[in-house]
Amino acid sequence: MSLVMLVLIALLYSAGVYLLLDRSLTRVLLGVLVLGNATNLLVISSGGPFGTAPFVGRSPEAGMSDALVQALVLTAIVITLGVAAFLLSIIHRTWTLDREDDLGVDAEDRSVRRRLERDEQIDEDEFDTTGCESTSDTDDERAERAAVATTGGST
């Protein structure tokens, strides 16, 4: 493996990880694509020297390139394409709902954590979010409604 190829792979891995750690889903997609390309270059370069096409009888076996490396890279390209398609669907859904691809702070997640800290629920899995899209319990309004319901509405 040449030093230039090694430096290129290291730069691609570092750029991919940097992009992957951003909150923007578009940059996460680009990070996954760059990491996939860096991995493909690493597998190809670790496969040994380049040789002739791996057809038996066309050239001596010592001069043939390894077909397994090419098959692994082809499989990795297909997997990267599938992950990219999945991330594109998530980006499209996020853009359709929020008109931005930047992941903000999830208010519902904060609410679940707050309830777990107050021992209002035992486990995250028991929390049912069905039908709660229109209501917000991130502040103490829910506690006030519960207090009014237990006292019968009298103040």
Residue 70: pLDDT band (50, 70, 90) is confident
Rounded to whole angstroms, the Cα distance separating 39 from 11 reads 12
Report residue 21 as tokens: 């750690």
Residue 1: pLDDT band (50, 70, 90) is low
Q: Does residue 4 surpass a pLDDT of 70? A: yes
Q: Closest by alpha carbon to 80, among 18, 35, 49?
A: 35
Q: Residues near 37 by Cβ (< 8 Å), separated by ≥ 6?
A: 12, 80
Q: What pLDDT is stored for residue 82 in this prediction?
A: 94
- Inter-CA distances, 59 with 56, 73, 144, Å: 7, 23, 82
Residue 81: pLDDT band (50, 70, 90) is very high
pLDDT digits (tens, 9 = 90+) for 16-66: 999 988 888 888 899 999 999 999 999 888 877 776 666 677 777 677 777
Q: What pLDDT is stored for residue 138 in this prediction?
A: 47
Predicted TM-score (pTM) of this structure: 0.60
Q: Residues near 64 by Cβ (< 8 Å), separated by ≥ 6?
A: 51, 52, 53, 54, 55
